[in-house]
Amino acid sequence: MSLLDELMTSGLVDRADDDRHQMHDLVRLHAWERAVEEEAESEEAALTERVVTHYLSLTALADQALHPGRMRVADSSALMQYWRNPFADGVAALEWMDTERANILAVLEAALRFELHSPAWQLAEACMSLFWHRAYPQDWRKAAALGAEAASAAGAPAAEARLRSLLAYPLLDLGEHEQAREELHKAAACAEAAGHPVLKAGVQEVVGRYAERTAPQTAAAAYERCVSLYEDAGHARGAALARYHLGRCQSTLGAHAQALSTLRMAHAELTALDDERAAARTLTAIGVVHDHLGDPVLALHALRDAACALREQGASYHEAQTLELLADIAERTGGPERDRVRDWLIRAAEIHQAAHSPAEVRLRERIQQLEQSAR
């Protein structure tokens, strides 16, 4: 019998839902009570700092494995120089961050409680890679808000600008548009104070996202400024992503042929940069434009390829969006693909359910209506 088996037999350790193990609640409570009574407060602070450093190091390594070309404010090179990256590839890194999501958030909260502000905002920035792929809007909001608070306390305006602009994304997805606007206003002020050209471009990118809802012309202008700022700063990936957003916005404004040209350019740039996730998202947008141009066959082909690539990359949030677009076009145009609509919607609903996204309810209702009409 292994030592772990002995601990389980003794009732000291339980198997968790994710097939890992954890101490029994009563054991943890007893350990906590003993620590509070017997350990000095300085020991708790030192232990917390060690745990924060451990999670920061691993999360930064996972972030590097997942997105080697992503812009970062934090310089984690000194922190990671003694570590061998344990993640074989981006998929393994993403799965680790997803599994450790609750722990990362708990460590973030502990870091702020003990005023470990610099490692806290660095940890928050590093874990953003998870949310780009899996969304989890409530957790994204929490991590970005804690990181922005820590960056502000640390007197790090560049980090605060970055995290407040990233905080706007889940706020927009959750329908909290006024709060998103306030965060973007603060982010712009911090980016200006930091004098960081790439951060200024990043804030403009989220300003465009905010404006898309009610003022697509304003959004397009913001994305054009964003492309220019990224190009001036020599940030090829940022410019390509901004071009992707610009192409989507051009399509919204009805300039579909122009949008197709812009998106094809962005797709070529992102493919050359080996950013497969962003290239797949751009392919989704290309599919939408083909549909607007009256070619559902090309649209479905592009969207199927995009959904497959996004699934391979573990970008489930964007996969769900693409699957719903596939279902929309197939249901509207008919043909053999219509038989796959229900399966696509079920997969999308399952993704949103796992992410605790409110979109799940809408998708479940749509599936139910589809099943009723088929009877």
Predicted local distance difference test score (pLDDT) of residue 370: 87
- Helical H runs in 233-340? 236-252, 256-272, 276-292, 296-312, 316-333
Confidence (pTM)? 0.79
- Please say if the pLDDT value at position 32 is more than 70: no
Predicted local distance difference test score (pLDDT) of residue 261: 98
Q: Please state whether 257 falls in left (phi above 0), alpha (psi between -120 and 50) or beta.
A: alpha
Residue 42 token pair = 């300085």
Predicted local distance difference test score (pLDDT) of residue 346: 95
Rounded Cα gap, residues 148 and 103, in angstroms: 19
Predicted local distance difference test score (pLDDT) of residue 365: 93
Give the model confidence (pLDDT) of 91-133 as tens digits: 899 999 999 999 999 999 999 999 999 999 999 999 999 998 8
- Please say if the pLDDT value at position 250 is more than 70: yes
The helix (H) or strand (E) run that includes residue 239 is helix 236-252
Place of tokens 């590839």: 89
Using 50, 70 and 90 to split pLDDT, how confident is the model at 17? Answer: low
Helix (H), strand (E) counts: the chain: 20, 2
Predicted local distance difference test score (pLDDT) of residue 18: 62
Give the model confidence (pLDDT) of 251-264 as tens digits: 999 999 999 999 99
Arithmetic mean of pLDDT over the chain: 90
Give the model confidence (pLDDT) of 137-186 as tens digits: 999 999 999 999 999 999 999 999 999 999 999 999 899 999 999 999 99
Q: Which of 58, 66, 67, 140 is nearest to 100 (CA)?
A: 58
- Please say if the pLDDT value at position 8 is more than 80: no
- Bigger pLDDT: 213 or 18? 213
Task: State the first-to-last Cα distance of the chain, in angstroms, to the nearest integer.
Answer: 55
Using 50, 70 and 90 to split pLDDT, how confident is the model at 39? Answer: confident
Share of the chain above pLDDT 90, in %: 68
Query: What average pLDDT does this structure show over 5-12?
Result: 73
Rounded (5°) CA angle 73-77-78: 115
- Please say if the pLDDT value at position 53 is more than 70: yes
Separation in Å, CA 12 to CA 7, 22, 23: 5, 9, 6
Domains detected in the chain: 44-63+96-128+137-195 (1.25.40)
- Please say if the pLDDT value at position 305 is more than 70: yes
- Bigger pLDDT: 355 or 250? 250
Rounded Cα gap, residues 352 and 355, in angstroms: 5
Rounded Cα gap, residues 131 and 121, in angstroms: 16
- Please say if the pLDDT value at position 304 is more than 60: yes
Rounded Cα gap, residues 347 and 330, in angstroms: 16
